[in-house]
Chains A and B, each alone.
Chain A
Amino acid sequence: MTPDTPDGGKPDVALPALGLLGSLRWGWTQLTSMRTALFLLLLLAVAAVPGSLFPQRPANPAVVTQYIQDNPDTGPILDWFQLFDVYSSVWFSAIYLLLFVSLIGCVIPRALAHGRAMKSKPPRTPRKLSRMPIYGTLVLPASTQSGGSPITAASAAADAAAMLKKRGYRVDLRDTDSAQPSVGAERGFLKEVGNLVFHFSLIGVLVSVAVGGLFGYSGQKIIVEGDSFVNTLVGYDTFTPGANFTAGQLEPYSLRLDNFDVQFDRQETHYGQPLDFTANVTTKDGPDAEEEEQVLKVNSPLNIGGTGIYLVGNGYAPVVTVRDGNGDIAMQGPVVTIPQDGLFTSLIVIKAPDAAPDQLGFVGFFLPTAFVGEDGVAFSRDPDPFNPQLNLNSYYGDLGLDDGEPRSVYVLDTEDLTELNSRTSDEGGIVLGAGQTYDLPDGKGSISFDGLDRYIAVDIRHDPGQLGALVFSSLALAGLTASLFIGRRRVWVRTGTHADGRTMVEYGLLARGEDHRLTGEGAAIEKALRTQWLVDEPVEEQNERPGAPGSTTFEHASHQAGNGKES
């Protein structure tokens, strides 16, 4: 940080002395060096990239499975390298953990050193102020007055100290009894404080994320209009607990979907694009609590029982009735379909395991606005249900639901089933308009399309680390701003009396770290001193003296951090 040691005050490391302790110390010094930090940062950036190139398990487990199936040669190898779990992989974790160890090792000593610096007095006045990057002198005629009394070296120093104090410097008046009293002043400690706060806050963010992972949970639920969700483990379709989750954490609130309104764009250029999704729900904080009507929308989640409820998807749930070969109702109710495109052409799977003598299964599409193309294939022309239609193939046999193996309700495994009819069979597939019934071949039963509901898919989450992450990242932002934009500088003023009674004043400024405003500050200080003592600006006095011996140029002055060697 200091101008002379740009790599954070760590001296260059020579070859390690022999011995375990020496090697350890050497390793630690290396790890906490600025160069290592830079290397690890760049490595982290590179390591994050593969996660955007390959599908990731936490986000899309099904896609990963599919990817490995499609690439039987490379898939398992990629998997072995954890390229489908990049952000929890050993190598990614190793990089960021090393980075954070390096950060702690770097920041703690700096925090201690800065604590000491803040308590100590401003550094002693250099013998040759003219060596400072910004340097200037003033000469006060013997007759100059300040506050009614004549100026002396001591009073001038005191005046300068007062002025610097007003400008926000910590000042130290010294050698007041000597012939050359001086003022040491320093400001901008907040720059380093900001830097430290920023780096510590990064640790805070990491810890908050970890807390969320340990104590949080998340789950998904699909709710059809009229149905309710109760916040218990069995209430979820899928549930992902954190490592320290206990079922007792769930507060048994409930939520009923009263109705779901969808509005599509009817403007020519964006025809059919969704404009608005609004779910009207009724919630209850607990089994005996009051009912409360609420509105759930995209970008406006509900907060109940320590969880957030987010609207993440929606679709159609056609209400169907399946009768079996005996004429009994084997299945009745809304069936959730999976939208395949923006026009809500939706995949539907209907299973009727209770059908007798044979179990029945259906696979096909639900089309909100069915339209038959020239090739005879029906497709949907609009996301709104202007002409709802079911296009199904039917099967009978053993649906495989009784062997206890978990199966997705959205997939029908037709391998062990016998086809009853399909689009390619002689009878053709089942095409059902609203309110219609279709009798299955061979007296196996019938299916009817009785009505249409909508459903919503919600994510429900509890993340106790969220607030911490917000607080720490805000702190990081504030610290970063302070660190980058506050100038840390030192000013010295020395005064003396000339033999002829004139008071001589010289001052010098030095920046620590980047500070392109140092010249401006020098000019401001000179101006303040002149106004205080009412001395005019003599022509020959100059604030910047590029040609003076021992001085550095302005470019040097404002860039102390050791830049510029390259050019």
Chain B
Amino acid sequence: MPPISQTLGEFSERFMLLAALTYTVAFIVFTLDLVKSSKRIRAVEENLAASQQAEQRVLVGADMTGGSSPRGGAARLAADTTADDSMDYSGRRKLARIAVVLTVVAALIHAAGVISRGLATNRVPWGNMYEFCTTGALVVVVVFLLALIRKDLRFLGTFVVGLTLVMLCAATIGFFTPAGNVVPALQSYWLIIHVSVAVAASALFTLTFAMSVLQLIQTSRVRKLAAGGVDRTPFMRLVPSALSLENLSYRINAFAFVMWTFTLMAGAIWAEEAWGRYWGWDVKEVWTFVIWVVFAGYLHARATRGWTGTRAAWLCIIGYLCIVFNFTIVNIYFSGLHSYA
């Protein structure tokens, strides 16, 4: 086995640190953008409302019987309170641009960290929890940045970059492992196939998790506004309507579900090769199965009357929590049970 390069390993650690710092700045700028943009939108709206009111007075005077249908009213309410469904935002958002550039820079440094780790160890950089976390965080960011090319998802920036930071911190503080070889059980090309797809699927589920949370907030916010309440979360104006969020996250979830199905199958094939049985209800297998079934439930929910919207979003969130549980608690606590055995 070729020797581990400690120097490269140390470089990798420094890159990670630098990336985390850059992400922190990006996170702050994304948050500032949310605050500032929602303030500006409010100002614009107040202006608009003032002029509209003047107009309306004229209209009412002209047509006493006129009045908008309730449906149109609700639609307008939704349109007024959320960003455009096509996610095209009018107006420049300078801060958001800076934040995206910062995120790109951070991702490049992050990628250098991941790649140098792989070079240092002469293998794919996802052989332990530290590497799984750092590489997974990179995939989350890259998927997010790629999605930005097609859709203006900058409203997700705070959440995605925030989650990335959490993952990087968890990796360096909680799971830190110096660059090294892996045990024989992991020396298999299935490590490359199985784990990489699992990481990618988890990254996609991370995005849809953030979107589902926003969807729930948006739903309850619009409901409250419709009932005449005050807007406590004005930054949600930058976020598309609950329906657009749901539809986009469905598309991503469908794709991620196929990947998760593949992860499950590849894991079974690997288990057969390493342990002689393709399915043994090992703790890890149980939770991978549970996650799969929850997201199968999610897909079914989308086709079941009364289960779309809020309930589907909850299923997506539960599924993601299971993924987090599978990665953290199962790996840390349950493996302890294993060594007891």
Contacts and interface: CB of A to CB of B under 8 A. Distances in A.
A209 B268 CA distance: 13
Contacts of A300: 273
A477 B270 CA distance: 17
Given A301-B273, A476-B261, A559 B247 contact: yes
B183 A274 contact: yes
Contacts of B301: 38
Contacts, number: 190
Contact of B178 (A63, A209, A269, A485): A269
A275 B184 contact: yes
A270 interface: yes
A34 B290 contact: no
Interface in A252-297: 265, 267, 269-270, 273-277, 297
A567 B243 contact: yes
Contacts of B276: 218, 301, 308, 310, 312, 459-461
Interface stretch (B55-63, B88-96, B166-174, B305-313): B305-313
Contact of B286 (A6, A48, A55): A48
A1 interface: yes
Given A34-B300, A49-B286, A299-B188, A273 B309 contact: no
Contact of A567 (B181, B190, B219, B303): B219
Given A59-B280, A63-B341, A469-B278, A480 B183 contact: no
Interface residues on A, range: 35 or more
A559 B278 CA distance: 38
Contact of B180 (A6, A269, A567): A269
A8 interface: yes
Interface stretch (B23-31, B102-110, B201-209, B250-258): B250-258
Contacts of A82: none
A87 B180 CA distance: 37
A6 B184 contact: no
A522 B277 CA distance: 50
Nearest to A559: B247
B77 to A, nearest CB: 11
A343 to B, nearest CB: 14
Interface in A6-51: 6-8, 34-35, 37-38, 41-42, 44-45, 48-49, 51
A408 interface: no
A470 B269 contact: yes
Contacts of A477: 258, 261-262, 265
Interface stretch (B11-19, B131-139, B153-161, B291-299): B291-299
A41 B303 contact: no
A516 interface: yes
Contacts of B241: 567
Contacts of B183: 273-275
B211 interface: no
Interface string A463-502: 1001001100110110011001100000000000000000
B119 interface: no
B294 A298 contact: no
Interface in A49-75: 49, 51-52, 55-56, 58-60, 63
Contacts of B179: 269
A311 B93 CA distance: 60
B279 to A, nearest CB: 7
From B301, B303, B334, residue with most partner A Cβ within 10 Å:
B303
A406 interface: no
Contact of A6 (B185, B258, B280, B304): B304
Given A474-B265, A477-B262, A555-B243, A565 B308 contact: yes
Contacts of A59: 280-282
B287 interface: yes
A44 to B, nearest CB: 5
B260 to A, nearest CB: 11
B122 interface: no
Contacts of B303: 1, 6-8, 34, 561-562
A52 B283 contact: yes
B184 A51 contact: no
A312 B275 contact: yes
Contacts of A484: 254-255, 257-258
B294 A274 contact: no
Nearest to A99: B293
Given A48-B289, A87-B281, A567-B242, A310 B274 contact: yes
Nearest to B274: A299
A24 to B, nearest CB: 24
Nearest to A59: B280
Contacts of B218: 567
Contacts of A209: 279
Contacts of B78: 567
B300 A45 contact: no
Interface in A155-209: 209
B187 A299 contact: yes
A565 B269 CA distance: 42
A39 to B, nearest CB: 9
Contacts of B289: 48
B184 A514 contact: no
A436 interface: no
Interface of A: 1, 6-8, 34-35, 37-38, 41-42, 44-45, 48-49, 51-52, 55-56, 58-60, 63, 86-87, 209, 218, 265, 267, 269-270, 273-277, 297-301, 308, 310, 312, 459-461, 463, 466, 469-470, 473-474, 476-477, 480-481, 484-485, 514, 516, 555, 558-559, 561-567
24 contacts: A8-B303, A34-B304, A37-B300, A38-B307, A48-B290, A52-B330, A56-B281, A58-B281, A63-B341, A209-B279, A299-B190, A299-B273, A301-B273, A310-B274, A459-B275, A459-B276, A477-B258, A477-B261, A484-B255, A514-B251, A563-B246, A563-B247, A563-B308, A567-B242
Q: Which 9 A-B residue pairings sit nearest by Cβ, starting from the closest? A: A566-B309, A310-B276, A269-B178, A270-B180, A567-B242, A298-B184, A45-B293, A459-B276, A52-B286
